[in-house]
Structure 1
Amino acid sequence: MKKKLILLMCAVCAAALLGGCGTGKKNTDEKKESTENTEEKDDAKDEKVSVEYNVDDYVELGEYKGLEISLGSYDVTDEEVKARIESILLSYPVYEDLDKDTVEDGDFVNIDYEGIKDGEAFNGGTAEGAILEIGSNSFIDGFEEGLIGKKVGEKTDLNLTFPEGYQNEELAGQAVVFHVTVNKIVSKTDMTYDRMDDAFVAENMSSQGYNTVEEFENGVREQVTEDNETRKKMETQAAALQKLREVCKVNGFPDGLLEQKIEEYMERFENNLSTSYGMKLEDYLQSTGTTEEAFNEQVKQLMAESLEGDLILEAIAGKENVKTEEKEYEAYKKSVVEDYGYASEEALVEQYGEEYIKSIYENEYILNMVIEQANITYGEQTQEGETPQAEGESQEGETPQAEGESQEGESQEE
């Protein structure tokens, strides 16, 4: 599944707490912000609710220029490259034929299958040479059990029914027949970095442009380098905003602004769950083992921290009389479309709204200005994905996000 802007939003709001999660327009001349929230009711015009305030009533700016920031090293090491390769290789196990002729629970079997519904093969229900672990519950109920005891070379018909809640509505609750051939029983071993050779790379990685171990390692090194640069940017932003929250003081929030921010976040969160994963909030809570009360508390904490960041950055923008250029904003939108796989800028704007995207851009613009004026040192290597913590600040609990494991394609798998 393509990475959508929600990845950027979560990285910005949860890690860097840049906020921008309100759809407001900043007025730095009057030092006021009008934050708009829209709701669609019975196809009527959107009802806009605004919260107006003087940011100087809520923020006491400290010395935000020349911040002292220390972070780890983002240089790529051989150990990182090896670890990344080992992780990739887990998706390319090696199967070897066994001298065994009867399928048992726990076996890996190589099979051909064709799914038939109403006398015709259905999309996603046919494969040749597929590897299935018996007992893994990868396929719908009855499929794996139906192969136990079958002989290598044997053909069998499995009369099964898809579960009522199956993600493909055309198959949910439907009776089907799978024509299955057991080709062979195999063993499975994971390929390792030390065992990998040119023949293995050519067989498994040629579609990605790699035919030798050297080419594969160089390609992975480039990927790790790009990832480290992205991580460096995000963690630098996170550390800078943390320092801003230490040197600046936020004295409460304008009435109703936090509640509005939470509401807007939840609208986007639930919309992403629905459009990207076909889930409702209650499904998400159940799958993550989170209570609604705990989830709401996490959201409130996240949005409060994010709003603090918003207000501090707005106050700095007002003091510095920051004005962004429309040309730069258009270039920013274009980069988001390219980096996160959107079909067009129109599709991006349709999903998140022009004002919301612009608020993200403006906050990042201001924070980058602060970073340019900061004294930043990069030193010891940090663990990949680990965000540095400010002194005296503990790790936060899990942040509720709409990201998760991608759904399976349309097949007989659950």
Structure 2
Amino acid sequence: MSQTWEKQEGNEGILTITIPSEELDTALDAAFKKVSKDVSLPGFRKGKVPRQMFEKRFGVESLYQDALDILLPENYAKAIEEADINPVAQPSVDVEQIEKGKDVILKATVTVEPEVKLGEYKGLEGEEIDRDVTDEEIDHQIDHITTEYSDLVVKEEGTVENGDIATIDFHGFVDGEAFEGGHAHDYELEIGSDSFIPGFEEQMVGMEIGEEKDVNVTFPEEYHAEELAGKEAVFQVKVSALKQKETPELTDEFVSELEGYEANTVDELKAELAEQIKKQKEENYEVALKESLVSQAADNAEIDVPDAMVDTETDRMLQEFEANLSQQGLNLELYTQLSGQDENALRDQMKEDALKRVRTNLTLRQIADEENIEVTDEDVDNEVNRLAEQFGMPAEDVKKALGDATMIKEDVKLQKALDLLVDNRKQAE
């Protein structure tokens, strides 16, 4: 096999692959063995037709496609390795010549990874965020804890307030007509949760137990049910019962009984929460800093990203989205029904982020090449151990799940490039 690579404009090129006639003969033999199993001619049993009779009846040309299917995968892989190119999509292959006794000549139109011309990537100014912990943030966490331990208590009298759980009956009408899904009996709604149509819960505040009221709302323009989107509606609402959350008093005794905390007093809890908030802020800062720096570096780079790479990354993002849905007990089909968006709409929404991901990865890889960043076996082992700790798996199981270390090496290389951006950023004065 021999090859020639001719780069064209943009990210495409022509890869000419020449395969010796001897390889074609071998492939034709294999193709005949494959197809002859199902061939029968008068005077011959099925699968027993001689090669000469087969070619006389059907022609050797009938074997060419099966022979190409045998020849192309291995020879294409060798050709791109010799040409030192990195295809990002399946090639379009034209057969220039295929004839028994002659070399096979194939011309493949190949979309390759784009060249990256780096701009400024050192001395960039990273995003700064406030990492100090405030009393308000600690109090917010405490409110969250006490709310988790709240009890629901029946309100015998009084009116609907934010935070109450109202048991209601409702019937919805658009243009005087009831619509599907617009009614319920003994429905429990947390007031202030914003789980209903905008304006619905706010109009219920102040209603008394047993009171009936018309609630006027307008469905959002992007509402999942197209027949209701943007429409004005009237809901006949009756409050049949009310419950309110009764939060426990924050005392040392309450703190000492909390699960998941080491604190035994209110002061100790506040100190523990302050440490947790600070740690989270530091992690958020690190993430925000890296995102800011790599985004600037990618913006400064010149990259003509092929559509094929964006499509591939969009596919990957959609798979990640489906995996997240499955963890919530949903699937893509059910999600599209609930959201009113089909898969094409989801893909369109993801494409901008997909393009950003591709530009980011290409930029980091080019930085790694420019800076001669290398990944050692120790680096790989450290990453495997980190993943093992993160997922609660033995390191050997992580290695088996990932197969060879190529993916880990690539991830570590990009991470090292990110660290380089951080180490070389413009320091705040």
CA distance in 2, matches of 1:289, 1:348: 38
**Equivalent position SS for 1:136:** strand
**Equivalent position SS for 2:129:** strand
What residue in structure 2 maps to residue 343 of structure 1?
393
**Equivalent position SS for 2:282:** helix
What residue in structure 2 maps to residue 176 of structure 1?
none
Aligned mate of 1:64, from 106, 118, 121 = 121
Aligned mate of 1:363, from 410, 414, 429 = 414
Task: Report the CA distance shift for 1:289/1:347 in structure 2 as closer, same or farther (over 3 A).
Answer: farther
| RMSD value, Cα | 3.7
Task: Report the CA distance shift for 1:307/1:86 in structure 2 as closer, same or farther (over 3 A).
Answer: same
Deviation for aligned residue 1:265: 3.3
Higher Cα radius of gyration: 2
Task: Report the CA distance shift for 1:200/1:31 in structure 2 as closer, same or farther (over 3 A).
Answer: farther
Superposition pairs of residues 33-182 of structure 1, within 5 angstroms: 33=86, 53=112, 55=114, 57=115, 59-94=116-151, 135-136=187-188
Superposition pairs of residues 371-386 of structure 1, within 5 angstroms: 371-377=422-428
Unaligned segments of structure 1, at least 5 residues: 1-29, 38-50, 108-133, 139-184, 379-414
Deviations 1:17-49 (A, max 9, x none): xxxxxxxxxxxxx99657799xxxxxxxxxxxx
CA distance in 1, matches of 2:125, 2:367: 18
Q: How many residues of Structure 1 are paired with residues of Structure 2 in the alignment?
A: 252
2:262 paired with 1:209: yes
CA distance in 1, matches of 2:426, 2:345: 38
What residue in structure 2 maps to residue 304 of structure 1?
355
Alignment TM-score, normalising by the size of structure 2: 0.50
Deviations 1:327-378 (A, max 9, x none): 123212322332x333334555676765444433322221111111011439
Contact 1:65 1:374 in 2 (8 A): yes
Counterpart code for 1:85:
I
2:243 paired with 1:191: no
Contact 1:84 1:220 in 2 (8 A): yes
Unaligned segments of structure 2, at least 5 residues: 1-82, 91-109, 158-164, 168-185, 191-240
* More helix per residue: 2
Aligned mate of 1:295, from 334, 346, 369 = 346
CA distance in 1, matches of 2:341, 2:427: 38
CA distance in 1, matches of 2:123, 2:294: 13
Contact 1:70 1:376 in 2 (8 A): no
Deviations 1:24-75 (A, max 9, x none): xxxxxx99657799xxxxxxxxxxxxx88465x2x22112111122412212
What residue in structure 2 maps to residue 280 of structure 1?
331
What residue in structure 2 maps to residue 261 of structure 1?
313
Deviation for aligned residue 1:97: 8.8
CA distance in 1, matches of 2:377, 2:87: 19
What residue in structure 2 maps to residue 319 of structure 1?
370
Task: Report the CA distance shift for 1:293/1:266 in structure 2 as closer, same or farther (over 3 A).
Answer: closer
Percent identical: 23
CA distance in 1, matches of 2:400, 2:330: 20
Contact 1:237 1:371 in 2 (8 A): yes
CA distance in 1, matches of 2:394, 2:411: 18
Deviation for aligned residue 1:297: 0.9
